[in-house]
């Protein structure tokens, strides 16, 4: 009995095995029983939807691997990148700073602090005087709420946020 049609055989097998496991769990945890026909209908529909969605996705070409070359003494290399996830409707940016031996120099806290600073500045620049800013960095939030001086690398950015 063929469950899926017009698809890659590996995809068909994977979807079928996943569906069997899914409905097994439904039975074990919720005592929900489906007929063989219902399971087959589900698998066919899921397979069709999977094929339609995967045919519309544009997969980027793999990036060429670039080897790291040593820098002159006392130089640093800054790698910067940004991206956008259409499905999550989120942007992400970041940077890494490495010294002449390839060791990481700067931490994520600095990157996150800069992102927060821009998150505060941008609404103001486009005319919004009242807004809510959400962040999960306990280090940055603690430093924003504190009146004491700290020795963190983000001190000047914290001052900018205030």
Write out pLDDT tens, residues 10-52: 888 888 888 888 888 888 888 888 888 888 888 888 888 877 7
Q: Do 101 and 145 contact (CB within 8 A), yes or no?
A: no
Reply yes or no on whether the pLDDT at 58 is more than 70. Answer: no
Cα–Cα dist 116/94, whole Å: 12
- Rounded CA-CA distance 47/54 in Å is 10
pLDDT digits (tens, 9 = 90+) for 124-138: 889 888 888 887 777
Segment 117-122 mean pLDDT:
84
């Amino acid at each position: 009995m063929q469950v899926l049609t017009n698809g890659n055989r590996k995809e068909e097998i994977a979807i079928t095995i996943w569906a069997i496991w899914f409905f097994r769990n439904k039975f074990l945890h919720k005592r929900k029983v489906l007929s063989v026909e219902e399971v087959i209908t589900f698998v066919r529909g899921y397979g069709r939807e999977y094929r339609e969605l995967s045919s519309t996705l544009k997969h980027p070409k793999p990036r060429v691997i670039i080897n790291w070359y040593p820098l002159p003494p006392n130089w640093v290399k800054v790698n910067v990148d940004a991206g956008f996830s259409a499905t999550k409707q989120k942007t992400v940016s970041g940077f890494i700073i490495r010294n002449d031996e390839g060791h990481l120099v700067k931490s994520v806290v600095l990157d996150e602090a800069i992102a927060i600073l821009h998150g505060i500045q941008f609404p103001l620049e486009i005319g919004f005087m009242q807004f809510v800013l959400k962040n999960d960095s306990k280090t940055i939030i603690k430093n924003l709420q504190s009146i004491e001086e700290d020795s963190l690398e983000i001190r000047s950015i914290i001052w900018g946020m205030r």
